[in-house]
Amino acid sequence: MKTSPIRNLLPILLAISAALPLQAEDAETKKLILIAGKPSHGPGMHEFNAGCELFKKCLADVKGLDVEIHNNHWVRDDKVLETADAVVIYSDGGGGHPALQGNHRELLQKLVNRGGGVMMMHYAVECAKQGSSGDSFREWIGGAYENGFSCNPIWETDYKSFPVHPIARGIKPFKIQDEWYFSIRFPEGMKDLTSLLVATPSDETRDGPYVYPKGPYPHIQARKGEAETMMWCKEREDGGRGVGFTGGHFHRNWEDDNFRTIALNAMLWISKMEVPEGGVESTVSAEDMAANLDEKGSRK
């Protein structure tokens, strides 16, 4: 008896359909490491651990992303970095930067060399005053805060427009007060960089005082009326990605949808994940904002 051609195809079709859900389940999961710095500054400021806990909660529904928080200024085990796809450092910087202690720079360089992503947030964009850390930061994320060249006033930014870029998806014009750093040391001509958050400081902002040192600096004052970049990204030739985000001094700002979403978008982007067309959707409650704060004394 002859076998029907359809009957011959049936086992093949069944095998294909059975394999499809397995392929979806077996899709590679990206591993994002959030490094929260040690307690720093007064209540409501530099709340690195609370911020990272908030980011993890907001990213919980992103399929294919595994988020780990490592607090106290570094990962609990260096081996974590060997399998990480991307690292976010939200901490104090300068000479005490977690990436610049012991062999940490070499460990992060290995991650970068295999195409891993790096994002530095707020004080963590500041390199050490001495040595070549600025060169490393520019390789990893595209730019670095340099003491004496950059400045750190507290001022209200007015972000009016954004580039066509995955990190800017879903972001609408917004104003927000923070310790926004500017006059970042970028490579000549902003090579390979995209400015994501750009605003023009007022003349009064340029005249200071800055948070520290108080300033003002003549080269900052000489650029009155010019726009500055407060968040940027870089896609390296090897495909690895980096982001610098200078805001994040005040914990309360994570309650702002645009402020929070552009940071979350960046975390997906450095992990080489697709950013939703409308940006990462998330909500935070008053309880979420008050959770996991460091013990820093009175909060009156």
Q: What CATH number has the domain bearing residue 206?
A: 3.40.50.880
- Residues 248-262 have pLDDT tens digits of 999 999 999 999 999
Is residue 89 a part of any domain in this protein?
yes
Is residue 16 a part of any domain in this protein?
no
Is residue 73 a part of any domain in this protein?
yes
Q: What is the pLDDT of residue 223?
A: 98
Q: Give the percent of the chain with pLDDT over 90.
A: 86
- Provide the residue count of the chain: 300
Is residue 159 a part of any domain in this protein?
yes
Rounded (10°) CA dihedral 165, 166, 167, 168 = 60
Q: What is the pLDDT of residue 130?
A: 74
Residue-range definition of the domain harbouring residue 261? 29-290
| Cβ 62 vs Cβ 27: under 8 Å | no
Is residue 11 a part of any domain in this protein?
no
Is residue 213 a part of any domain in this protein?
yes
Rg (CA), the chain: 22
| Cβ 266 vs Cβ 32: under 8 Å | no
Is residue 101 a part of any domain in this protein?
yes
- Interhelix angle for 48-58 vs 257-270, to 10°? 80
**CA–CA separation, 55 vs 8, rounded Å?**
52
Number of domains within the chain: 1
State whether residue 162 is helix, strand or coil.
Answer: coil
Q: What are phi and psi of 148, to 5 degrees?
A: 95, -20
pTM of the model: 0.90
Q: What is the pLDDT of residue 27?
A: 59
- Residues 145-158 have pLDDT tens digits of 999 999 999 999 99
**CA–CA separation, 106 vs 84, rounded Å?**
15
| Cβ 54 vs Cβ 89: under 8 Å | no
Is residue 170 a part of any domain in this protein?
yes
State whether residue 78 is helix, strand or coil.
Answer: helix
pLDDT at 57 over 50: yes
